[in-house]
Amino acid sequence: MGTYGYAAPEYLSTGHLTAKSDICSFGVVLLEMLSGRRAIDKNRPQGEHNLVEWARPYLTHKRKIFRVLDTRLEGQYSLSGAQTIAALALECLSYDAKMRPSMDSVVTILEELQGSSETEKNQESKGVTKQASAVSAGKNSRKPRRKSLGATKETGPNPRPVIHSR
């Protein structure tokens, strides 16, 4: 049985659930993660009750996806990663079930995104470690220089260096 707000259009018209129906529902979950909103929220203003209907127009334009992104993330994400997830969500939410990706494709995209994120974290931590060891060894008597904002990875609406802690 489909849950309102997550049900694929073909399920609503036929009552039949398929693997592609699940992909559509997963697209809604991706949107919830990006936006920090619920699939259905009657407390939102008119026209924003249904997350998919509200977000779909913004997902089709790379420059408008910031309107969908949860402001509580405060730019702590890569722009390319956010765009990838938004594009994946839009593909999962295709009206035509045949146009939706397979779950294997979805997993591959998410794993690639996770891999690139881990690579960035490793590169950042190695840079910080080298800098810290040089300072502690007295090789660099000046204060360590911060990277300029131009040297940081692309981020959301408030670009700033991203500090990852473990």
CATH of residue 105: 1.10.510.10
Mean pLDDT of the chain, nearest integer? 78
In a domain, 32, yes or no: yes
Q: How far apart are CA 77 and CA 128, in angstroms?
A: 19
Radius of gyration of the chain (CA): 20
Contact 69, 34 (CB under 8 A): yes
- State how many domains the chain has: 1
Tokens of 17: 């659930």
- pLDDT over 70 at 62, yes or no: yes
Predicted structure pTM score:
0.69
Predicted pLDDT of residue 13 = 84
In a domain, 102, yes or no: yes
In which domain, by residue range, is 38 found?
Answer: 9-134
In a domain, 30, yes or no: yes
Contact 59, 68 (CB under 8 A): yes
Tens of pLDDT, residues 90-110: 999 999 999 999 999 999 999
- pLDDT over 90 at 144, yes or no: no
In a domain, 140, yes or no: no
In a domain, 96, yes or no: yes
Contact 89, 8 (CB under 8 A): no
In a domain, 154, yes or no: no
In a domain, 129, yes or no: yes
Torsion sign over Cα 87, 93, 99, 102: positive
In a domain, 19, yes or no: yes
Q: Any idea which residue has 């840079």 for tokens?
A: 127
